[in-house]
Amino acid sequence: MSEKQEIWTVLKVLTWTKGYLAQKGVENARLESEWLLCGVLDLDRVGLYLNFDKPLTEAELARLRGMVARRARREPLQYILGSQEFMGLEFAVTPAVLIPRHDTEVLVAEAVQRAADGSRILDIGVGSGCIAIALAKVLPRAEVMGVEASPEALALAEKNIEANAVRVTLFEGSLFEPFPTERFDLIVSNPPYIPTVDLESLQPEVRDFEPRQALDGGADGLDFYRLITPAAPSHLNPGGWLLFEVGIGQAAAVKGLLERTCVFTDIFTARDPSGIERVVG
Ligand code: GLN
């Protein structure tokens, strides 16, 4: 009697992958397994469900095995699939940039409310370009500029600008370095804000794979707010706004920094969907 050859259908592979990733400590293992299979088969999730009985080819299985092994080592799903959605737009991501977070959409929303037709906007630390690109999409007549210290991140942001068909001008450098005399109507930034001591206790996906340069905010996490805030007034037009994303529990300290410049009035904070104070401006 010959042994029956195993047929790896979509459903069977999905069930196996889910169990394996869950055992490796991956949260939402079922959903993530679906996304990995969607990536391999080039299907959306409905398409995946419609093909539960379809067997995978050897080549598809081999590709999936590679991806599952990476995810089992806790590499973020977004680096494996190479993209992340933000504000309904698609962004290419690599380990050179922070993966865009939905919490950062609050910063975009607050910026849009304070922008006018033709505003000059600067995003400090563009990373993947998600904030600057989303703003340029919503405000097509704004002049959006971005500055970034990492050449690898800049190259990826350029790619995202092109893929999203927007006009954003990028500059390589640190903070206001490329703009000694320029003024803007709106300055936004989601700077690195994790206190250095907390980096080691982050989840492995963040700790071991996302760029330190995008996370490390110095001893108390506030280094970049301390650098940007006093320099901002000389780079803002009258009535202009400086808006920051902040980490959990940092809103009061950053508000204090803005107050100490004695320039900013109407200082506000805005909460993210989980109720955490996420934006200060
Ligand atoms: N501006 C980018 C983002 O919000 C990068 C931020 C960062 O690297 N700290 O995703």
CA of 128 to the centre of ligand 1 (A): 7
| Beta carbon of 150 within 6 Å of any ligand 1 atom | no
Q: Can you give the pLDDT at residue 4? A: 62
Separation of CA 98 and ligand 1 centre (Å): 6
Report ipTM (2 d.p.). Answer: 0.93
Domain at 94-280, CATH from 3.40.50.150, 3.30.457.10, 3.40.50.720, 3.90.330.10: 3.40.50.150
Mutate which of 126, 175, 224, 227 for ligand 1 pocket (most atoms within 8 A of beta carbon): 126
Task: Decide: 100 in ligand 1 pocket, CB within 6 A.
Answer: yes
CA of 44 to the centre of ligand 1 (A): 27
Encode burial over 70-99: b for 16+ CB neighbours within 10 A, e otherwise: bbeebbbbbbbbebbebbebebbbbebbbb
For ligand 1, whether the C-beta of 125 sits within 6 Å is yes
Name the residue with the closest Cα to ligand 1, atom 8.
Answer: 214
Predicted pLDDT at 2: 54
Domain positions in the chain are 10-73, 94-280
Question: Is any ligand 1 atom within 6 A of the Cβ of residue 281?
Answer: no
Rounded mean pLDDT for each run of 10 residues along the chain, 281 residues in total = 76 98 96 98 97 97 98 98 98 98 98 94 98 97 98 98 98 96 97 98 97 97 97 95 97 96 89 96 96
Model's pTM, two decimal places? 0.94
The reported pLDDT for the residue numbered 261 is: 87
